[in-house]
Amino acid sequence: MNFQLTEEQAAVQAAAREFAQTELLPGVIDRDEDQIFPAEQVKKMGELGFLGMMTSPAYGGGGMDTVSYVLAMEELSKVDASASVVMSVNNSLVCWGLEKYGTEEQKKKYLTPLAKGEIIGAFCLSEPEAGSDATSQRTTAEDKGDHYLINGTKNWITNGGTASVYLVIAQTHVEKGHKGINAIIVEKGTPGFVVGKKENKLGIRGSDTHSLMFTDVKVPKENRIGEDGFGFTFAMNVLNGGRIGIAAQALGIASGAYELAVKYSKERKAFGKPISQHQGIQFKLADMATKIEAARLLCLQAASLKDAHQDYAKAGAMAKLFASQVAMEVTVEAVQVHGGYGFVKEYHVERLMRDAKITQIYEGTSEIQKIVISREVLK
């Protein structure tokens, strides 16, 4: 095993860290407070190549490895998880899925502008009655010969109002169950496609989360991804990689809170000395650092397996399960280290604590990750 980053990987990490500090940090508290989508920052992320990192240069992407993607996700998530989730969805769920399974025409028309960051995408799986049970799709895509007619509702869609391209998972053949599901590309502005109000959330409040409504939305047959009935397999395969991105996001949230706690502990004095010299605080920092390092190794292992074209389903699920748990534990302790100051917004750690919770829920809850892991270990 080689734990040393390559020059390219280290450069990506440094660039992401600088971007996070200079572009994301200013105004991050206000964006959270007022639920403002970081449009200007996301535009710059696209210009710098962060929205299509793993996509082939042939389609406008950076052609980078998954390890570089994880490193960048961690750095951005230390500061603004609302911005980093845009990067995660666009890279892991939308661009990767289109490049892996899309037709050449779909790649030229949709993947290229997505990878260049000229537009952003959304992945539409969850529904009012189909969250963890993704097989229970109520959204339908009725086969009309040369086109599909989509009807239904999608919930909790990241980039729901700002995306231009939506990958919609819908049921075509009810009698076939999950084998009758399709993945269909829907463009914003298609008649009958309506974006609902933005959700008022606990965390990642700057993220653009909406419900989507489809009423007789006509989409050409050539917008289907893969063969008829491939949609559920497409969604599960895409989510296997998406978990690595969310694991890296959780890692970044934890790392950001930990770094703030270390800094504060050296500045804050109690009983005549910095609180970092009190054993109670030292032990907290030691536990936080150890958990973060373990989560980081799990994330990098999953990314390395993906880059080596090996089975990474179990590793990705383990990374997300553990990193999201660490994110919650570390951010809570970071607030505790800050004491009363940790409870006010200007010190950032309360926001990171709120942001951490979603990493245990989206792209498969922690309970779903345990199902995936147990299924793999019992094979």
The structure tokens listed for 147 are: 């086109």
Q: What is the mean pLDDT of each run of 10 residues along the chain (379 residues)?
A: 93 98 98 98 98 98 98 98 98 98 98 98 95 92 98 98 98 96 98 97 98 98 98 97 97 98 98 98 98 98 98 98 98 98 98 98 97 96
Are the beta carbons of 140 and 127 closer than 8 angstroms? Answer: no
Beta bridge partners of residue 185, listed in sequence order: 167
Is the pTM value of this prediction over 0.95? yes
What's the topology of domain 235-377? Butyryl-CoA Dehydrogenase, subunit A; domain 3 (1.20.140)
Q: Which CATH class is domain 7-120?
A: mainly alpha
CATH for the stretch 122-232: 2.40.110.10
Q: Where are the alpha helices (DSSP H) in the chain?
A: 7-19, 28-34, 39-47, 66-77, 81-88, 96-101, 104-106, 112-115, 231-267, 279-307, 313-338, 349-358, 366-377
Instruction: Quickly tell me which residue has 């750095």 as its tokens.
Output: 75
Q: Is 8 a catalytic residue?
A: no
What is residue 130's predicted lDDT score, i.e. its pLDDT? 87
Nearest to 342 by CA among 255, 280, 268: 268
227, 363, 367, 376: the catalytic one is 363
What is residue 174's predicted lDDT score, i.e. its pLDDT? 94
Domain spans of the chain? Answer: 7-120, 122-232, 235-377
Are the beta carbons of 244 and 66 closer than 8 angstroms? Answer: yes
What is residue 1's predicted lDDT score, i.e. its pLDDT? 79
